[in-house]
Structure 1
Amino acid sequence: MLARRAAFVLFGTVVLAWGCNWPVTKILVATIPPLWITALRCWIAFAALVAILGATGRLNLPPRGDAPVILGVALLHMVGFSTLTAAGLAYLPAGKAIVLGYTTPLWVALAAPVILGERLARGSAIGVATGLAGLAVLLNPFAFDWTARDTIIGCALVLAASLCWAANILVGRAHRWIAPPLQLLPWQTALAGTVLTLAALLREGPPHVAWTGETIGLLAFSGLVGTGLAYWAMSMVTRSLPALATALGVTATPIVGIAIATAMLGEPLDGTLAVSAALVVGGIVASTVAASR
C-alpha cells in the first residue's frame, strides 16, 4: 500500500491521463481507423503491463474460474467501449462525447436492482434523475443538430459504448474473483488486442497510416499512459484509499477531459455543455454517496 499523500498524487495522475485520453483519441481518429487505434493501444498496454508485473513478480497465468470476468472486461470494455467511443469521436466534439460516455454509472444504478438484486436507495434515485436531466440538457435540439446524420451516429455510438461499460461493471460485480484484477489485466488486453486486430484486418485491411512523430507520440501516450500504466496505478490507488474517495475522485475525469479538450482542440465550452456536465457529475456523486451508505 502507498502512503495517503502518494496515493492521492497517483490518483490525480490517473484522472489526468484518462481525461487526456479523450482528446488524444479525437486527434488520432483523423488518421487511424478506430479499430486499429484500439487494437494498437491494447497491445501497447499489454507490453507495459507484462513489464510491470514481471518486474514485481506478479505475472501469473489466470485461474480458469476468472474466465468470465476476463471475457467481460476484454470484450465489453476494452473492445466494445473503447472502439465505440473512438468511432463516436469521429462524429462528435470530444467534450460532448465525454459527457455521454460518463453516463455509465447512471445505467449501472438503474440496472443493478434488476440484474443483481441491489436496492436503489432514495439518494441513488435522485442522483440518477439528476444525471438523466443533465443528459437531456446535453441532447436538447438547441445544443445538437438532430437533422445531421453525424450527430445521430455519434451519439448512438458513444451511448452504446457507455452501455457496454455498464454491462462490464455488472459482470465484475456479479463475479467471484479469484485472482486480483491487476493480475488479469495483461490477459484481458491480450484477448482484446487479438479480437480487435482480427476485426480490423477483416474490416479495414492492413493499416495505412502516415506515421508522423505526433501520431506515434499520441498512440504511445494512449497505450502506455492512458491504458497500461493508468490501470496499474488505479489498482494501487484502490488498495490505498477508501472506496468512496476513489469512486468520487473518478467523477473528476469528465471535467478534466472537457478542460483539456477545450485547451488542446479549441472546442468551445458553452453553457449547455457546462450545465450538462455539472448535472451528470453531480448525479453520479449523489448516487455514489447514497450507495456507500
Structure 2
Amino acid sequence: MLLVTVILLWGVNWPIMKYGLQYIPPIAFAAARMVLGTAILAAVAAWRGQLKWPHREDWPVVVSVGLLQMAAFSALVNLGLQYVSAGRSAILAYTTPLWVLPLAVWRLREPLTRLRLLGVTLGLAGVVILFNPLAFDWRDPQVLFGNGALLLAALLWAVLIVQVRGHRWRGTPLSLAPWQTGIAALVLLPLSLALEDVAHIRWEAPLWIILLYNGPITTAFCFWAMITVTRALPAITTSLATLSVPLVGYLASMAMLGEALPWNDLAGFVFILTGLVAATLDDALRHRRSRANRI
C-alpha cells in the first residue's frame, strides 16, 4: 500500500508542479520545497533519535546528493516544466536508468549484457521518437531549453547514482536526509534571490496548498515511505513499480490539465518503459545469479 501511495503521489505531482509555476518562479519553487522538506525530515529524525552530524565518510556523497539530486534535479525539472507539458516532462525525467547503464559500463566496468543492450537500445529509440523532427518544434528556443533541461536533470541524477553505487553508508537514510535537502535549500535560496523576481510571487491559497503537498508529502513522507518499501519488498518489485510513476503523471496531466496525447509521445513512452523494464530485469537476474553462486 505504501508503494502504491508513493507512485500515485509522485505521479499526480507532475501536473500539480506545472500548475504551481503560475504562482512562483521555478527555482524558488524548488527552494521552498526543500526548505519545507528539511523541516519535516529534521523533526522526524529528531523524534526517532537519528538527527545527528553525518560521518566523515558520508559527507562527500551527502553533498553530491544535495547538489545533484535535490538541488539541480528539482530546479531543472521546474525550469523544464515551464515550457514542456507535464506528461512529457515526467517521461523525460524518468529516463535516468537509460543513462546509468552506459555510465556504469564506462566508469564501473559493469558488463554490457544482451538484455542491458536491448534495454538501452529500446530506451534511446523512445527518446528519438519523442524528438521526431516531424512532430518537434526545433525552431522554438523555449521548447528546446525545456526539453534539454529535463534530459540534463535525468543525466545528472544518473551521474549521482553511478557515484554512490559503490559507497558504503555509515549513517541511516533518515539521519542523512535532512542534511541532503538542507544543502539543496542553501544552494537554491540564494540562487533564486539572485536570478528571479521573488517579489512577485503570488502568495495565494492555491500556492500554499501546492507547497504543502510538495514539502511534507511528496518530499518528506514519500522519502520515508520509499525507505520503508525498499526494506520490505524485493528490489526488482520496487524498481519495476516506480517505472509506473511517469505513466501516472501522464494520465494525471491529461485528466487535470487537459493535455493532449500526441502519438510520438505515447510511442516514445512505450519504448522507454520497455527498455527500462529490460534493464531492470537484467539487474535482477544478475543479482540472483550472484546470490546463487555465493550459496
Common fold by TM > 0.5:
yes
Give the corresponding residue for 2:93.
101
Query: Partner of 2:28 in structure 1?
Result: 36
**Whole-Å separation in 2 of the counterparts to 1:117 and 1:248:** 24
- Does the aligned pair in 2 maintain the 1:32–1:207 contact within 8 Å? no
Say whether residues 1:17 and 2:31 are aligned partners: no
User: Does the CA contact (< 8 Å) of 2:26 and 2:75 recur in 1?
Assistant: yes
* Equivalent residue runs for 1:208-219 within 5 Å: 208-219=200-211
Check conservation: 2:62, 2:179, Cα contact below 8 A: yes
Q: Which residue of 2 aligns with 1:145?
A: 137
What is the CA–CA distance in structure 1 between the aligned matches of 2:125 and 2:198, rounded to whole Å?
A: 43
Match of 2:212 among 209, 212, 220: 220
1:206 is displaced (CA, Å) by 4.2
Aligned counterparts of 1:181 and 1:143: Cα–Cα separation in 2: 43
- Cα distance in 1, alignment partners of residues 92 and 36 from structure 2: 26
Offset of 1:204 from its aligned partner? 2.1
CA drift at 1:227: 1.1
Deviation at 1:54, TM superposition (A): 2.1
User: Which of the numbers 170, 174, 180 marks the counterpart of 2:166?
Assistant: 174
Q: Give 3-state SS (helix, strand or coil) of 1:290's partner.
A: helix
SS at match of 1:65: coil
The one-letter code matched in structure 1 to 2:201 is V
CA offsets per residue over residues 138-193 of structure 1, 9 Å max, x none?
A: 11023211121221111111111111111111122132211122321100011110
Shift of 1:205: 5.4
CA distance 1:258–1:173, change in 2 (3 Å): same
Instruction: Tell me whether 1:162 sits opposite 2:154 in the alignment.
Output: yes
1:52 is matched with which residue?
44
Cα 1:69–1:277 shift into 2, 3 Å: same
Amino acid at match of 1:186: P
Shift of 1:58: 2.3
Q: How many residues align?
A: 285
* TM-score normalised by L of structure 2: 0.93
> Which runs of 5 or more residues in structure 2 are unaligned?
286-295
The answer as to 2:119 corresponding to 1:133 is no
Distance of 2:180 and 2:108 partners within structure 1: 24
Contact 1:127 1:287 in 2 (8 A): yes
2:134 is paired with a residue whose SS is coil
Q: Which amino acid aligns with 2:151?
A: L
Correspondence 1:80 to 2:72: yes
Confirm or deny: 8 A CA contact 1:36 1:207 kept in the other structure. no
Amino acid at match of 2:39: A
2:105–2:112 Cα contact (<8 Å) kept: yes
Residue of structure 2 equivalent to 1:70: 62
Q: Structure 2 counterpart of 1:35, which letter?
A: I
- Mapped contact 1:36–1:196 kept (Cα < 8 A): yes
Aligned amino acid, residue 45 of structure 2: L
Worse overlay, 277-286 or 205-214: 205-214
Q: For residue 86 of structure 1, what is the amino acid of its counterpart?
A: N
> Aligned partners of 2:51, 2:17: CA distance in 1, in Å?
29
Per-residue deviation at 1:270?
2.7
Match of 1:115 in 2: 107
Amino acid of the residue matched to residue 120 of structure 2? V
Contact 1:88/1:157, CA 8 A, preserved across alignment: yes
Percent sequence identity is 40
What SS class does the counterpart of residue 272 from structure 1 fall into? helix
Question: Matched residues in 1 for 2:98 and 2:199: separation?
Answer: 36
Aligned to 2:195: 203
Question: 268, 283, 286: which is aligned to 2:275?
Answer: 283
- Shift of residue 31 of structure 1? 2.1
Structure 1 segments, 4+ long, off by >3 Å, are none
